[in-house]
Amino acid sequence: MALLNHRSDPRAARATAWVGLLFLVAAHPGLAQEGGEAGVLSEAKARAIAFESTRGNCLACHAIADGAPAGNVGPPLSGLALRFPSRAALYAFLWDPHASRPQAMMPPYGRNGILSARELALLTDWLWTL
């Protein structure tokens, strides 16, 4: 069996994204079901990840409610539950957008280790609600 190179083979990139997703589900069961105070803290953490220029830096390219200044390179980050078939699909896209859209300008946050699996899970859950 040949080893897949994620830099030259889109199948390998998709496999890498799915491995990250499987790790997330195994390591953090019920993450999306956090409620009460834990849910509020998770939302604040996710917002911080998205807004901080040294982490997610989403505002550099996207408009997000209550985020300023907002970028206009990427689409506004709202209605993501309508644009992605599931949270898992959104997570996989954030992990490596090039796996499904090779020409994407967005960085592969998971594949390149920009954000951890936990940070991506928090960000995914929060973005899903916008």
CATH 1.10.760.10 fits 37-129, yes or no: yes
Q: Is 69 exposed, middle or buried (0-12, 13-18, 19+ CB in 10 A)?
A: exposed
**Cβ 80 vs Cβ 130: under 8 Å:** yes
* CA 50 distance to own-chain centroid: 10
Question: Among all chains, which residue has been given the structure tokens 């996710």?
Answer: 46
Give me 126's structure tokens.
């929060």
Q: Which pLDDT score, from 0 to 100, does residue 40 have? A: 60
Q: Where are the domains of the chain?
A: 37-129
Q: Which pLDDT score, from 0 to 100, does residue 12 have? A: 55
Q: Which pLDDT score, from 0 to 100, does residue 118 have? A: 93
Tell me: pLDDT of 27 over 50. Answer: no
Predicted TM-score (pTM) of the model is 0.69
Q: How many CB atoms lie within 10 A of CB 40?
A: 11
Helices 36-51 and 117-129 cross at an angle (nearest 10°) of 100
Q: Tell me the per-residue pLDDT of 39-61, one tens digit each, with 9 for 90 and over.
A: 566 888 999 999 898 888 998 89
Tell me the one-letter amino acid at 28: H
Q: Tell me the per-residue pLDDT of 9-26, one tens digit each, with 9 for 90 and over.
A: 555 555 555 555 444 444
Give me 105's structure tokens.
């300008």
Q: Which pLDDT score, from 0 to 100, does residue 65 have? A: 79
